[in-house]
Chain A
Amino acid sequence: MMMLAELDVVLLSRIQFALTIMFHYLFPPLTIGMGVVIVYLEGMFLRTRDPLYEEAARFWTRIFAVNFAIGVATGIVMEFEFGTNWATYSRFVGDVFGSALAAEGIFAFFLESGFLAVLVFGWDKVSPGFHFFAALMVSLGSIFSSIWITVANSWQQTPAGHEIVPMLRDGKPWVINGEVIRRAEISDFWAMVFNPSTVHRLVHVWLGCFILGSAFVMSISAWYVLKGRHREFAERSFTGALLLATISSLAILVSGHEQAKNVYETQPAKLAAFEAHFQTGQGNLSLFGIPDAEQETIRMNLAIPGGLGLLLFGDSEQEVIGLDKFREEDRPPVALSFYSYHLMIAIGGFFILATLLACWLLIRGRLFQQRWLLWLFVLAVIPAFAANEAGWVAAEVGRQPWIVYPPFEKSAEGKLQLTDAGQFIYDESQGLRTTDAVSQFISAGQVLGSIIMFAAIYLLLFIIWVYVLHQKISHGPVPVPRRDEKSPGKGGWEAATSWQQHQESLTDTRE
């Protein structure tokens, strides 16, 4: 009974974390991607002084602010949950993981929120140059934020730059009930920051954000084109976003390939789960199938024989480590890893085809007559969201059963230790199981209560978000009168000292 209650807290806390992080993660990639689009539009306006660019930048800023507001409101939850639900984890990793979170607060959040006010409220008050600077700072802030949080997560996946040491009490190791209390401490800050997977994952996250941001812009623009509204604005926004989406879609293929190789080197069990590669041996690349972990096989499998080996080593014959090399209790859940990973890749493939086709038609001057393709882009924002979410589901579920990934057990000479059955053994003293990571004295009832509340509030938030977006999109961009060349606007300082009024809220600025 006691065991069941403990299990409940673990399971419920995982559900709560998944719910809150997946809802939160709808917004940051959107703001990161759109931030780049806004910086581009404002930069073009500075160069060309074409008011259409300013009109576009203003419109996208209003949409950006709505996304940003929800991103902030749901982001605070994440920081609290490490302590409320995952206290044992926090004690174990705080020295390392906490630093990255604190750096995110100091370097990223203040920068974003400070300049956001200027970005949203400053159109008629500051010079275009200063406004461009504010846009750049907001965009930079959101990118800094992604750096620190990816560093923190990557450290969980491929820990480095730290040591697991006993905690000290009065200079001696702290022992409770005969057990030495240990935790991770930073030994080399930059090795921790640039742990083996940070750069791969960060590049991948950024490209995913760019695709989502541009898919979002293309969706709304394509809708305007289809409805025959704001044609010039819509076509220009679409073209800019298409360029970003095409480059990012092609780049993410390369990045994904490199990352898969990195995962195989650092977390082979995870890649085996992604591919539902049960038996060590020739690695087949499954394109479609239903993995069956009980029978250790993939049903209705459509696979390229040797494809996995080919991708990993350039050799289809080479042996790929399968799940059979890991003890049952050390294997990640296969079905969820497999589906989310394949969903992400399928959507990536879709974006490559769709954007290349659109580019080709654009060059031929026929893109904006292809109604079916425009409708496709109106809807394509949904798979773009799904791919970003699925990528993280794969990354996090594939990391299980560990919350901090341990290395393999090695002998003094550095030789891998294997069980009699030839399976790898993890050095558990160097990592932490997810089941051991939750807070000790919270009850299942407490967690269940908060899950219900979050579900209700987030559903409400989601409805409001869609409603407000719909309103803003229906309202559309508003033409900006051409600026008088003789009064080029004010510098930041001058504007700040003369500014007397502002409007209601971040998401509600007056034209």
Chain B
Amino acid sequence: MDLNLIWFVLLGILLAGYAILDGFDLGVGILHPLARSDDERRLVMSSIGPIWDGNEVWLITFGGALFAAFPEAYATIFSAFYTPFMLLLFCLIFRAVSLEFRSKVHSPVWRRLWDFAFFAASLLASFLFGVTVANGLLGIPLNERGEFTGGIHDLLGPYPIMVGLMTVAMLAVHGGLFLHLKTAGSTQKMFYRSIWHAWGFYLVMWNLVTMYTLVKVPRATPNFEHFPWAIGVVVLNVLAIANIPRCIYLRQVGQAFLSSSLGILCQVILVGVALFPNLVTASNNLDFSLTIYTAASSQKTLGIMLVIAIIGMPMVLSYTAIVYWTFRGKVTESVY
């Protein structure tokens, strides 16, 4: 296993960490309008109050690590997705602001406004993440220097929209399970129902996306011949998704949440397998693709970065564990 491959895997871990952790934050935002009263909406936000900020750090670190390990890919992806990423930034800012400042003014209009901002920003951010990944699988037009030569219309075909919707559904399930764990009483009952609906939608979208990928995205499948173990990941993914309704039916919601997390992890791994060894696939000329070898920093830098990661990551995991352990348990109804 060379350094380039190690960094490809490490980036996958950071991305999966982000998708699982901030994934339920986003899902909580998507389900937020279902809450029926001001108190309930406040409670829903409370469930992620202390942790959203730590979860977003996974995205920041993913971005930083991509910049350091594969600068060519970082530069191509971020400039190619200029407009979607700017929208993503606005969503992330609005989410932060609505979480922090919604309750600062005792005016119903003010609160409804921020409630809407929280929902819309979470929905759009989830959708945009899906769109980005789908374009990664399809490939984007690049020139010889590895620069994106297309326009915004190249990024919004039917496949990206389908994957975007699937991501919304997937995170809604994930967020719903988290809310079920974090609430009690009538609120919990209400989210119990919404998990079923979200899961149904997820199942439909997952099937559509899978079929479309097999038929219309030829580049997504050949790697499975080189890596037969990846078939196991597909099976695991199916089992994880199927296990969610079984667990919620049996009211083992903790296990359902773990299944949902495992499902997300599988999806990230499958995207990685499908892309490998490319980071950015050139749709116009495969030779222009940026791979983990052509887009990488020097071996020396990858080595230095690995030392930084080996020192840093155990610390990161221990803080994250402490904070989650600290804030485990239900959020109470009596918020004020």
Q: Which A residues form the contact surface with B (CB < 8 A)?
A: 66, 69-70, 72-77, 79-80, 82-85, 87-88, 90-91, 93-99, 101-107, 109-111, 113-118, 120-122, 169, 176, 181, 183, 185-187, 189, 439-442, 446, 449-450, 453, 457, 460-461, 464, 467-468, 471, 492, 495-497, 499-508, 510
**B103 in contact (CB, < 8 A):** yes
Chain B residues closer than 8 Å to A82, beta-carbon distance:
67, 78
Bound together, the chains give a CA A69 to CA B56 distance in angstroms of 12
Q: Do A98 and B42 have beta carbons less than 8 Å apart?
A: no
Give the distance in Å from the alpha carbon of A400 to the alpha carbon of B77 in the complex. 27
Given contacts A114-B320, A441-B147, contact A495 B326 (CB under 8 A): yes
- CB contact under 8 A between A98 and B74, given known A113-B53, A496-B322: yes
Measured in the bound complex, the distance between the Cα atoms of B297 and A460 in whole Å is 39
What are 10 of the A-B contact pairs (CB < 8 Å)?
A91-B71, A94-B70, A98-B67, A102-B65, A102-B68, A185-B301, A446-B83, A502-B50, A503-B335, A507-B101
B100:A84 contact, CB within 8 angstroms: no
Within 8 A of A (CB), among B47-87: 49-51, 53-54, 56-57, 59-61, 63-65, 67-72, 74-83, 85-86
Task: Summarize A's interface: helix, strand, loop or mixed.
Answer: helix
Interface string of B97-123 (1 = CB under 8 A from A): 101110111000000000000000000
B325 within 8 A of A: yes
Say how far A203's CB is from chain B's closest CB, in angstroms: 24
A290 to B53, CA, bound (A): 46
Chain A residues within 8 Å of B144, by CB? 176
* CB neighbours of B64 from chain A (8 A): 79, 98, 101-106
Pick from B53, B71, B97: contact of A464, CB under 8 Å? B97
Which 3 pairs between the two chains have the least Cβ-Cβ distance?
A94-B71, A83-B78, A114-B319
A72, A101, A114, A461: the one contacting B322 at CB < 8 Å is: A114
13 additional A-B residue pairs with CB within 8 Å, beyond A99-B308, A105-B65, A186-B304: A70-B96, A85-B79, A90-B67, A94-B72, A98-B297, A99-B297, A101-B63, A110-B54, A186-B298, A457-B93, A501-B330, A501-B332, A505-B99
A471 vs B101: C-alpha distance in the bound complex, in angstroms? Answer: 12
Q: Is the beta-carbon distance between A502 and B67 smaller than 8 angstroms? A: no
Contact of A499 with B327 in the complex, beta carbons under 8 Å: yes
Cα of A510 to Cα of B82 in the assembled complex, Å? 40
Residues of B within 8 A of A96 (CB): 301
Q: A468, B101: Cβ atoms under 8 Å?
A: yes
* Residues of chain A within 8 A of B61, CB atoms compared: 102, 105-106, 109-110
Decide if B247 is an interface residue (CB 8 Å cutoff): no
Evaluate contact between A461 and B67: CB separation under 8 angstroms: no
Complex Cα distance A380/B261, Å? 50
Q: Is the CB of B316 within 8 A of A73?
A: no
Which among A87, A97, A186, A496 has the greatest number of chain B C-beta atoms within 10 A? A87
Q: How many Å lie between the Cα of A288 and that of B145 in the bound state?
A: 49
On whether A500 and B75 interact (CB within 8 A), knowing A106-B312, A109-B60, A450-B86, the answer reads no
- A95 in contact with B301 (CB, 8 Å): yes
Is A457 in contact with B90, judged by CB distance below 8 angstroms?
yes
Bound-state CA distance A456–B291 (Å) is 38
Bound: A492/B319 CA distance, A: 12
From residue B9, how far is it (CB to closest CB) to chain A in Å?
A: 15
Known contacts A114-B319, A114-B323; A176/B332 CB under 8 A: no
Pair B103/A504 contact, Cβ less than 8 Å: yes
- Whether A504 and B46, one on each chain, are in contact in the complex, defined by CB atoms closer than 8 angstroms, is yes
- Give the residue among A113, A439, A446 with the most B Cβ atoms within 10 A: A113
Contacts of A453 in B (CB 8 A): 86, 90
Q: Is the CB of B56 within 8 A of A76?
A: yes
- When the two chains form their complex, are residues A87 and B76 in contact, meaning their CB atoms are under 8 A apart? yes
Contacts of B99 in A (CB 8 A): 505
- Are A461 and B103 neighbours in the complex by a CB distance under 8 Å? no
Distance between Cα atoms of A88 and B315 in the complex (Å):
33
Q: Quick check: A503 and B145 within 8 Å, CB to CB?
A: no
Q: Closest B-chain residue to A141, C-beta based?
A: B319
A440 surroundings in chain B (CB, below 8 A): 79, 145, 147
Q: Contact: A84 with B86, CB < 8 Å?
A: yes
B89 located at the interface, meaning its Cβ lies under 8 Å from any Cβ of chain A in the complex: yes
* Alpha-carbon distance between A397 and B169 when the two chains are bound, in angstroms: 47
A115 contacts B316, C-beta separation under 8 Å: no
Contacts of A450 in B (CB 8 A): 82-83, 86
Instruction: Choose one: B60, B67, B328; the contact of A499 (CB below 8 Å).
Output: B328
Select which of A76, A441, A495 is within 8 A of B89 by beta carbon: A76
Complex interface: chain B residues within 8 A of A503 (CB): 46, 49, 335
Residue ID in chain A nearest B333 by CB atoms: A501
Would you give the 0/1 interface string for B295-336, flagging 1 where the beta carbon is closer than 8 Å to chain A? 001101100110011001101100110110111111110011
Residue B203 at the chain A interface, CB threshold 8 Å:
no
B149 in the interface (beta carbon within 8 A): yes
- A residues within 8 A CB of B93? 73-74, 76-77, 457, 461
Q: Roughly how many angstroms separate A66 CA and B145 CA in the complex, as a whole number?
A: 44
